Amino acid sequence: MKNKNGLVAFALLGLAVGTAAYYLLATEDGKKTLDKANCGIKDLTKSLKELSKKESKKASKLAASAKEELENLKSKAKDASKSVLDKVSDKASSWANKASDAAQGLANQAEDIADKAKSDISNA
């Protein structure tokens, strides 16, 4: 029974498709309707192509703008990091100079103390 229902449904579907095809291809009214449908499809295709080109241009401009902004941010980050490195380098150099001066001062004091001790020993 199930097979018969499927066969009947398939036959009815085939009949409907055949009738629609006959109407669209064999009658004048059907040919006009088919021509209108074809024109509508062509117009829709043309509109979609134009819209696609327009949106493609927008996307291209947006991508170029994003790339430019990224390059700008990259440049700013590079400049900022260079500035920080320069400041750190200057600070480290300053501390190294202070440490060197302090070490030199201690060395001079040690030398003065040693000279004084030698002098005291000689005088004693």
Residue 7, pLDDT above cutoff 90: no
Angstrom CA distances, 77 to 51, 91, 93, stand at 38, 21, 24
Q: What is the mean pLDDT of residues 95-103?
A: 89
Domain range for 77 = 2-123
Give the DSSP letter of residue 46: H
Domain count within the chain: 1
**Nearest to 30, CA basis, from 19, 39, 41:** 19
Residue 113, pLDDT above cutoff 70: yes
Q: What is the mean pLDDT of residues 12-28?
A: 79
Residue 2, pLDDT above cutoff 70: no
Q: Which of 28 and 81 is assigned the larger pLDDT?
A: 81
Backbone angles phi, psi at 122, to 5 degrees: -65, -40
Q: Which of 39 and 18 is assigned the larger pLDDT?
A: 39
